[in-house]
Amino acid sequence: MLHRFTVGGLSCAVISDGQSEPPMEPPLAAFYRPDTGVPEHELHAAVAAEGRGRSTLTCAYNCLCVETPAGLAVVDAGLGPGFLGYGPAFAPLVGRFGAGLAEAGFEPPDLAAVVFTHLHEDHVRGAVRAGERAFPEAVAYAHTAEVAFWSDRDDVLPDEQRAAAREAIRLFGERLRPVEYGIEVLPGVHTVDAAGHTPGHTAVLLRSRGERLLCLGDTFYDPLQLANPAWRTPWDHDAARSVASRRRLLDWAADDGLPVHAYHLPFPGLGRIERRGDGFTWHPLTT
């Protein structure tokens, strides 16, 4: 799946690495749990208020490509082909970024940069599959705190989380450039503080000719988390900071009318954030 659009003078495309489909859609109760501050009755009430009668969510992997004056960049790279971590039935649903890149008229060597919002496996594995860099000419960017965290925390991180991050750090080697918040890593591509989900979780702001797009990574997974921004997930490393970052970024997107790219919402994950009571709501941009 491929969706082209522009942000000012930047030619962009969302290329899907895939997304879950029934019966492989994950249950809502796996994302919003009592041990992460979401009592079961609150989840049931929120689902009822939504009015859709659902018990699962569609988890997509929307990779954002940007043609910059310094070359083609992708923000996050998906799970890649041959992923068996969610079982063999899930593997055929992902690993489609390479085909989408070819459909867009590019080949892996054309990628000049990979900007990682963070180093969870569903964002990095597609860049380092089969023990090699999938994009041989690309330089990678990730926040300094993110690189340090995954490099140093052997004692507390599950092997399946640590392996992909470690492999990315090892394979990119000197091509991995640790960066800070508030800088322009490529022309028109800026880093924004979104820490909490992981220590160096990074939002990406595209800015060109007066137009903007805010790429939010894993700031939220599902519209229920917009309506309830204090809800956390099991994958948030710093609960309080993740909530604070989510509220700050959603406030900004709503107040400024910023178009938003959401990595995990159904393809293409482009929309706008509007306020609704104490929370927010999602309005997809038509394709």
Query: What's the pLDDT score for residue 212?
Result: 98
Q: What are phi and psi of 20, to 5 degrees?
A: -65, 150
Tell me phi and psi for residue 148, to 5 degrees: -65, -40
- Strand pairing report for 270-276 and 279-284: antiparallel
pLDDT tens for the 287 residues of the chain, in order? 899 999 999 999 999 999 998 888 999 999 999 999 899 999 999 999 888 888 999 999 999 999 999 999 999 999 998 887 788 888 888 999 999 999 999 999 999 999 999 999 999 999 998 789 999 999 999 999 999 999 875 555 555 667 889 999 999 999 999 999 999 999 999 999 999 999 999 999 999 999 999 999 999 999 999 999 999 999 999 999 999 999 999 999 999 999 999 999 999 999 999 999 889 999 998 65
pLDDT at 156: 55
Provide the strand spans (E) within the chain.
2-7, 10-19, 60-68, 71-75, 111-115, 139-143, 176-179, 184-186, 189-193, 202-208, 211-215, 259-261, 270-276, 279-284
Question: Quick one: 25 exposed, middle or buried, by C-beta within 10 A (0-12, 13-18, 19+)?
Answer: middle
> pTM for the whole thing?
0.93
Q: Give me the residue label for tokens 């924004």.
A: 192
CATH topology of domain 2-218: Metallo-beta-lactamase; Chain A (3.60.15)
> Where does the chain have alpha helices with state H?
28-31, 40-50, 97-103, 121-124, 144-152, 159-172, 223-227, 239-256
At residue 176, the pLDDT reads: 97
The sign of the torsion formed by the CA atoms of 105, 107, 112, 114 equals positive
Q: How many angstroms separate the Cα of 92 from the Cα of each of 86, 152, 174, 211, 257?
A: 11, 33, 33, 36, 37
Is the CB of residue 65 less than 8 Å from the CB of residue 74? yes
pLDDT at 52: 85
Q: Name the phi and psi angles at 27, rounded to 5.
A: -70, 145
- Give the distance, in angstroms, between the CA of residue 219 and the centroid of all CA atoms in the same chain: 8
How far, in Å, CA of 282 to CA of 250, rounded?
Answer: 11
